[in-house]
Amino acid sequence: MPEPLRRERARRERWYVLGVRPPPPVTTLLDGPRVLLRAVTTEDLAEVTTLLRRNKTHLAPWTPLPATDEDPTTLLSVARAITRQRQQWAEGSHFPFLIVE
């Protein structure tokens, strides 16, 4: 059995042992007539960082307060957030999507 298939099978078996449905693959796309949603990737890092900086004031009411010494719009903070979101997806606890034009 090819390695990618073996890993996917093992991932799904872990969830079935727990008696729950496994999370959808991180490659999931939600494609509607006027919108496309997909998971964030590290390739989105620069654009997401730019958008967060540009819209910081507008997004403030919906953004959790960062630690006092942390700027959530730095490349490092955004990279950590993307890594955390992908881990949460793999765990099946969060499924954040980007709206893609």
Tokens representing 64 are 């959790």
Which domains occur in the chain, in start order? 27-100 (3.40.630.30)
Over residues 31-88, the pLDDT tens digits come to 999 999 999 998 999 999 999 999 989 988 888 877 777 788 888 989 999 999 998 8
Alpha-carbon span 78 to 56, nearest angstrom: 13
Cα 84–Cα 27–Cα 39 angle in degrees, nearest 5: 45
Q: How are strands ordered across the β-sheet holding 29-31?
A: 29-31, 36-38, 98-100
The pairing of beta strand 98-100 with beta strand 29-31: unpaired
Q: How confident is the model at residue 90 (pLDDT cuts 50, 70, 90)?
A: confident
- Determine contact, residues 92/15, Cβ cutoff 8 Å: yes
Tens-digit pLDDT profile for residues 14-26:
666 666 677 888 8
Residue 89 to residue 92: CA distance in whole angstroms = 5
pTM above 0.75, yes or no: no
